[in-house]
Amino acid sequence: MHDIGNPISRIQKAFGGEEIRHIGWDFAAECDWRNSESFLFEDQKKSSDIFSWLGKQTTPDIACEALFQLKNGERFFFGFSTVHLSDLERKRVISELLEIPHDGRSLIETVDEIRKAFRSNLPLDTTPQKLVLGVGGLWKNVGPLEVSNKKNGIGTILPFEEIQAHAPSPNKGFFPLYEPQQNNIMLEADMCTDGTFKCWLGIRVSESDEGPSPKHRLSKDRYYSVARTLSGCSLGS
């Protein structure tokens, strides 16, 4: 059974009436989120700080994530690539992004404003192109692992019990996906609306220990629950 809508609307519905705050932006070159440039509203950074960082980059492969936070402190992200833009267009888009009001807007409204900056008019895909498991901030270091895709049916997902067997080896000094992590483990829905606006939505699928330096462990219940919401499908394996 398929749930009409798209991953954005389904996540907002899943969180119900819970307040979702847009708390800032994160920018990365070549998906190196470990060394990203953050722009949190509470830090009161200036937009010139982002453009100074952007001017030092030697690659057009610049990605950005809008960061959101629930009332309980849980964070998730909506990201998008600017690799297809010219340098001038990239600066225009980022400038417009930084001007988006962040008080009182819903997740859907904020995503609509982001898409306006990209001049993207086509509707978001109702189902993701694929679902990918990775570690927040360490996407290039741990995993990522594709667990579902449209080719095989987005409702068909890698069983939780098989993640260990399929997880790629992490970079030196890091731990594989199925072991406790220093950051939250995220399930990402990759979407593409018109061949140019590539975007993704990442939601936590780990549970955390108590204490000052908690470890984050992949949760079977959250893995399946979030996958159902992002895909809009009943799941099979």
pLDDT digits (tens, 9 = 90+) for 153-205: 777 899 999 999 999 999 999 999 999 999 999 999 998 766 667 899 999 99
What is the total residue count of the chain? Answer: 237
Tell me how far apart the alpha carbons of residues 111 and 37 are, in angstroms, rounded to a whole number: 20
Residue closest to 202 by CA, chosen among 229, 163, 237: 229
In the chain, DSSP finds a helix count (H) and a strand count (E) of 6, 10
More confident: 198 or 95 = 95
* Residue ranges covered by each domain of the chain: 7-231
Average pLDDT over residues 125-146: 91
Centroid of chain to Cα 40:
16
Look up residue 2 and give its DSSP letter. B
- Cis peptide upstream of residue 128 (ω within 30 degrees of 0): no
pLDDT at position 102, please? Answer: 80
Residue 59 banded pLDDT, cuts 50, 70, 90: very high
Question: Average pLDDT of 62-86?
Answer: 92
Q: What is the pLDDT of residue 19?
A: 79
Mean pLDDT of 230-234: 85
Q: Is the pLDDT of residue 236 over 90?
A: no
Let me know: does 138 contact 34? Beta carbons within 8 Å.
yes
